Structures are given as structure tokens and as C-alpha cells.
Amino acid sequence: QCQLSGLWRNEQDSLMEISAVGDDGGFQGNYLTRVTLAGGCACASPLKGAQQQPSEGGWPTFGFTVRWDKFSNVTTTFVGQCFVDKGGKETLTTMWLLREAVGSLQEDWKATR
């Protein structure tokens, strides 16, 4: 069984801490990017999400949103799945969408990566 709660580090040394996952799958925590650390603003950004409770023997899927309001006018949403290898190592795989604020509807095309 993969446990989503805890401290996670990605390939770029960003840190994410997830609180206990509730019975309904809801969770919250904080995200600290490497960019934040390198830029001198060591501000944790809040995250909120939900985990889909896996079926018997399945690996849980999840999604969460990070509000980077401490240093940027950007919101990022992540979706992914948690896996455990034969040695017991837990790994999260994710994809993300980042939405940046723009000044007009005409600039909307360049706001999402």
C-alpha cells in the first residue's frame, strides 16, 4: 500500500509535505520549490488535494493544487499516481498544469503551460 502522507523530494530537490490523508481522501500540506530556495524566498506554498481510494491491490491516484501566492501570481495543479516497487520504495509520478495570470483575454493563449 502506498502512503501519500509524509515528506517527498523530487528530482529538482523541491520538497512537498502532505498531512494525513482523511477518510474521504482529502489532504493538505506545503510545497517548497527549488526555485524558491535558490531565489532567497524560503516560503512554503499551501497545497490542497484529494486521493482516490484505491481498489483492492491498486495504486492510489491523486490530484492537488498549489497556490504560489507568496512569491508569484501562479497556480499549479498536479495529478498523479503513487507506486511501491518490490523493495518497498514509494514513488509519486505526476503531470502538472501551471496557470499564470495575464492582463487580458487576448493574452490568455500564453497563460497555461
State residue 37's pLDDT score. Answer: 41
Distance from C-alpha of 111 to C-alpha of 98, rounded to nearest angstrom: 8
Residue 91: the pLDDT is 93
In a domain, 1, yes or no: no
Q: What pLDDT was estimated at residue 38?
A: 46
Q: Phi/psi class of residue 111: alpha, beta or left (left: φ > 0; alpha: ψ in -120 to 50)?
A: alpha
Cα angle: 51, vertex 66, 108; to 5 degrees: 115
**Helix or strand or coil: residue 83?**
strand
Query: What CATH number is associated with residue 103?
Result: 2.40.128.30
pLDDT band at 26 (very low <50, low <70, confident <90, very high): very high
**Confidence grade of residue 33 (pLDDT, cut at 50, 70, 90):** confident
Convert the pLDDT of each residue in 95-112 to its tens digit.
999 888 899 999 999 999
Is there a domain that residue 27 lies in? yes
Domain span holding position 105: 6-110
State the Cα–Cα distance between residues 36 and 6, nearest whole angstrom. 20
* Distance from C-alpha of 107 to C-alpha of 90, rounded to nearest angstrom: 40
* pTM of the entire predicted model: 0.84
The pLDDT value given to residue 72: 74
**How many domains, the chain?**
1
Is 103 inside a domain boundary?
A: yes
